[in-house]
Amino acid sequence: MKTWQLALSALLPLATFAAPIVLDDGESVSDWKVTRKPATVTAAETAAKGKGALQVTMPGMVSRSLSRTYVPGSAIWDTYAGVSFWVKGDGGDQFGSLVVKGRYSFVTFFPLKNTEWHQVVVPWRDFLPEYQAEPIGTFGAVPPSGINTLGFGTRWTIWHNNAKVPAHSYAIDQIELVEEAPAAQPTPKPRPFREILDLLKAKKPLRVQCMGDSITAGTGLADKDADRYATQTQDLLRRWLENEQITCYSRA
Q: Which sequence spans correspond to the domains of the chain?
A: 20-178, 193-250
Say if residue 24's pLDDT is above 80. Answer: yes
Task: Using DSSP, state whether 169 is helix, strand or coil.
Answer: strand
Exposed/middle/buried for 44, CB within 10 Å: 0-12, 13-18, 19+?
buried
pTM of the predicted model as reported, rounded to 2 decimal places: 0.83
The DSSP 8-state label assigned to residue 57 in this structure reads: E
Q: Are 84 and 122 in contact (CB under 8 A)?
A: yes
Fold of 20-178: Jelly Rolls (2.60.120)
Q: Tell me the pLDDT tens digit for each residue of 162-218.
A: 889 999 999 999 999 999 999 988 988 988 989 988 888 899 999 999 998 888 888
How far is Cα 87 from Cα 24, in angstroms, rounded to an integer? 13
Q: Tell me the pLDDT tens digit for each residue of 110-144.
A: 999 999 999 999 999 999 999 889 999 888 888 99
21, β-bridge pairs: 177
Please state which of the ranges 7-16, 217-226, 235-244 shows the lowest mean pLDDT: 7-16
Exposed/middle/buried for 41, CB within 10 Å: 0-12, 13-18, 19+?
buried
